[in-house]
Chains A and B, each alone.
Chain A
Amino acid sequence: MQTDRLIAALAADANTTPRRIGPMLALALLAALPVSVALFMSILGMRPDMRTAMHNPFFDLKFMVTLALAFAAIVVSLHLARPETSFDRWGWLLVLPVVIIAVGIAAEMTMPHQRPWLSRLIGNNAMACMASIPLFALPFLAAALLALRRGAPANPTLAGMTAGLLAAGLGATLYASHCADDSPLFVMVWYSLATAFVAAVGAIAGRRVLRY
């Protein structure tokens, strides 16, 4: 095929401007939300002492961490979907949830506790946490990858990993409203492990499906 003919064909297709990725990602995540919420409500549900828990700042801190992760990863994902951007320039945003959790741990350490720190770290729900976060993250991850397929990432593996981080952040937000372990130490260890798992799944999937 002659290149000028191909150009003519491309110009003939000029009116079908593809939709932008930002709105598509927002729509995809909104569509995944009821699926994850339904999974969450049918398997776990919110914790019974929700009202009293809300007065505990460390309960609220969990949401700050998970939502900070989700939002930072959404922003980074949208940047990485463009061919000329690099992770070096935007990746630092992902440090935000780490900073919040570090501040939380420091704050908790200064307070008197009935339970020693190791027991707070191990908690009572480690296994449930590790299984639940990836489960609730999965619909978000699938939706995010589907939307990001419209992108042109320079590095599909990194783009997929970031999609995994955003999915883990959203999945963990749901899980956090069930889990009775509020210590930032628990969050640091078990939420991070679950998040790393989802990020790895995202990286492996992204490597395949986000290539353009």
Chain B
Amino acid sequence: MRGRDEEWTGLMRAANAGDAAAYRRLLEAVAPVLRAATYRGLARAGQPVDQSEDIVQEILLAVHLKRQTWDATAPFAPWLFAIARNKLIDALRRRGRRVFVNIDDFAETMAAPAAGDTLSPGEVAAHLDGLPARQRDVLKSVAVESASIKETATRLAMTEGAVRVALHRGLASLASKLREP
């Protein structure tokens, strides 16, 4: 575990120094750990574990948007898990409320085909359509169709700078939409 923590801390320091590849490696390395922790947390709370990916994505967004609050002289893992814990608790609280509301629609939920659940695009994707057009287009291009900033700029006839701004704003608005109860 210590070796892992030190690796993460090193990657995050590199990321803060502008190394996007290190940043990506870090997020790819933490995602499975967050997934396992979220899965466990949901199971313990008696919630359906198929929501764990939504929560993992929410955590990753928060990590991204709040990474300036990490103190570069401190280890990365405690900071990461503090955010993860916060987001999991938040999600459980929100889902608890939602489950309560859905009791009225119980019959309808039962009638839906079971396969519908596994095919759901996830909560983050569901909020994409609610974003302002430009942010949505850029996010879809970069995150759904895996286009680079440059390709997206050409495709949408925008400057690369404008794509970057729209991407950043889009991620921030996604996070705030996910936060809404």
Contacts and interface: CB of A to CB of B under 8 A. Distances in A.
Q: How large is the interface on A (under 10, 10 to 19, 20 to 34, 35 or more residues)?
A: 20 to 34
Interface string B114-153: 0000000110110010000000000100111010110000
Contact of B24 (A7, A84, A151): A7
Interface string A1-41: 10111111111111111111100000000000000000000
Nearest to B78: A84
B69 A152 contact: yes
Contact of B168 (A3, A6, A13): A13
Nearest to B145: A5
A83 B69 contact: yes
B56 A212 contact: no
A16 to B, nearest CB: 5
Contact of B124 (A1, A12, A17): A1
A16 B15 CA distance: 11
Interface of A: 1, 3-21, 81-84, 150-152, 154, 211-212
23 contacts: A1-B121, A3-B60, A6-B143, A7-B28, A8-B142, A9-B142, A9-B167, A10-B23, A11-B20, A11-B27, A12-B167, A13-B168, A15-B164, A17-B18, A18-B65, A18-B67, A19-B68, A21-B68, A82-B71, A82-B79, A83-B83, A151-B66, A154-B86
